[in-house]
Amino acid sequence: MAELQISRDEDSHILRFLIEPGGPLEVSELTDALGSLARQYEKFAFQEGMAEKPRDARLLIASVAPGSIIVNFIPDWHTVAAVAAPMITDAFHRTETVIKFAKRIKRILDYFLEEKKSPASSQDITLKDCTDVVNIVKPIAQHGGNQTFITVNGDVNQTVLKLTASDAVKIMDHASKRKLELLAVDESKAQRVSLVWSQLARDAAKVDAKKSPDRAVIAEIDSKPHPVFFTDDMSSLKAEMIDNEENPYQKVFFVDVDISRVPSGGIGNYRITAYHGSDDLDSPTSEMPLPS
């Protein structure tokens, strides 16, 4: 089978993705890996000022070779030139761009390969990064073999990163655990705390919705307002709390809440579980708008 190629000058500055699997791959495993590399490029190109929006950044397949799975990637230089400085199309800068992207891939894979990482190094890792990393290494984690990233500049090939099957398994395991950590919600409880509404809608309480129009301040927990939800069996509490109040913004409500926290430890939202009555605020803020 002859190698499929797109004949262009830019093809001499490429990132080669070489997969040498120990067995047959599912088509979805390969397409997921390629799609994740494309998403990582979108993020890279946007951060480097090479695209106005991430979705405008395109990573192209310059060629596909037989035997082992060899995919040669090139950035869409025409799009890059339309947004970034014209010199990015020069041979030197094209090579530097490909190398920089390759180092980004190496950095994120190395992050999950290493056993010890500083807390600061994890701050830029997102859920999408975790998903992309799992997709990229899954072909050899599942089937054995090796995976290599190589930068190609004309006749000069330089290996940036080579992973064994055991490396891939370790990376996949660490990325999956990190994803669970980012998805985890740490809930704690507070009883008979004072709640003051900062934003309120007259419609039904939000139980299963992802967003709530209701926001409130519980000063002894956090001085900033946060979304307010209700548990399924306590959804009637909202009506009980505000229906008979002429202006709920001029009242303080005494409630029990579950505190939902984001992975960084900050407050995500409050979920009201019990209501213990209300009282007038010491300094009513009459300028606040009435609930819609």
pLDDT in tens, 236-268: 788 888 877 788 899 999 999 999 888 777 888
Rounded Cα distance, 45 and 81, in Å: 12
How far is Cα 288 from Cα 291, in angstroms, rounded to an integer?
Answer: 9
Alpha carbon distance 190, 221 (integer Å): 9
* 182-240 pLDDT per residue, tens: 766 556 888 889 999 999 887 656 555 567 889 999 988 888 999 999 876 677 788 88
Report the chain's C-alpha Rg in angstroms.
27
Beta bridge partners of 227: 215
The CA-to-CA distance between both ends of the chain, in Å, stands at: 68
Question: C-alpha distances in angstroms, 1 versus 25, 150, 193, 267?
Answer: 19, 23, 72, 58
How high is the pLDDT of residue 1? 31
Residue 75 has pLDDT above 90, yes or no: no
Which tens digits make up the pLDDT trace of 110-168?
Answer: 999 985 555 445 557 877 899 999 999 999 999 999 999 999 988 889 999 999 999 99
Cα gap 206→193, rounded to integer Å? 20
**Residue 21, pLDDT score:** 92
Mean pLDDT of 67-91: 76
Tokens 């605020």 sit on residue: 281
Tell me the average pLDDT across 68-90: 77
Please indicate whether residue 103 or residue 286 has the higher confidence score (pLDDT).
Answer: 103
Using pLDDT thresholds of 50, 70 and 90, give the confidence band for residue 290.
Answer: very low
Q: Where are the domains of the chain?
A: 4-183, 186-280
pLDDT at 99: 93
